[in-house]
Amino acid sequence: MVLLVPNTAAGGFGAEAAGALADKVADLNARYRHHSATSVMKAALTEAGHIALVSSFGAESVVLLHMAAVIDRHVPVLFIDTEMLFTETLVYQTELTERLHLSNVQIIRAADIGTEDPDGTLHLRDTDACCALRKTRPLQKALSGYDGWITGRKRFQAGTRAALDFFEVEEGSDGTAPRIKINPLAHWAPEDIRAYMEENRLPRHPLVARGYPSIGCAPCTSPVKPGEDPRAGRWRGQQKEECGIHFVNGKLVRIGASE
């Protein structure tokens, strides 16, 4: 595990510690460059420090959850309940947790919804603010005790991810420590996901069969028509692609993550 030591004189974390983390990530990528997603998952849980798996329990989430459960059913799984999720997602979360015998699923909720969105209409006025309130800020707070986290990002999802590595350094923000971000499915294609689910007889999210290939909060997710982009139903009609949980250069950005 890399120990990140605060550099209090500079108001942040020391360059030496940050450099050590970058070296660790480079070493992991070099050693696992040609390995399978399962091997990367095992490395994440055994070599990358204190790691959490962040899951939306959405359309493809069961793949990472199953992969992690086979290795360690006690892995911390962070599930952000925005209090605007589909009932089907909440039921699916409970069913998968029981089926995969996951013993450390942590349900994270924002503490200040009553103050900032008392009537539940913030998403109608400012979707970015709603996502920050209900998902981004609670997640970053929950991750503060971890050295890194596992995501479901994949190269095929966006041009910005064409060179996505298995292991990345997520730069810190506002004096927080940088973390390792692990993407075990970086090289997977849609057919790989389907094959894994079929081979392991994993249950699909019930909304997938009803035309929801990408599933978020109920007010901001609609069915997708044949031929449309799988994420066309997310924030339909808006210039918005994602809630903003991923960091680039220490800043939250929306880059089309499905998990």
Residues known to be catalytic: 243
Alpha helices for the chain (secondary structure H): 15-32, 37-47, 61-71, 87-99, 113-116, 122-125, 127-131, 137-143, 190-199
Interatomic CA distance for residues 75 and 49, integer angstroms: 12
Query: 61-71 vs 190-199: helix axis angle to the nearest 10?
Result: 50
DSSP state of 133: I
Cβ–Cβ contacts within 10 Å for residue 19, how many? 10
Q: Which helix (H) or strand (E) holds 148?
A: strand 148-150
Interatomic CA distance for residues 150 and 44, integer angstroms: 8
Q: Which helix (H) or strand (E) holds 7?
A: strand 6-7
Pairing verdict, β 251-253 and 51-54: unpaired
| Contact predicate 63/196, CB 8 Å | yes
State the maximum Cα–Cα separation within the chain, in Å, rounded to a whole number. Answer: 57
- SS3 state at 80: strand
Q: Which residue type sits at 98?
A: E
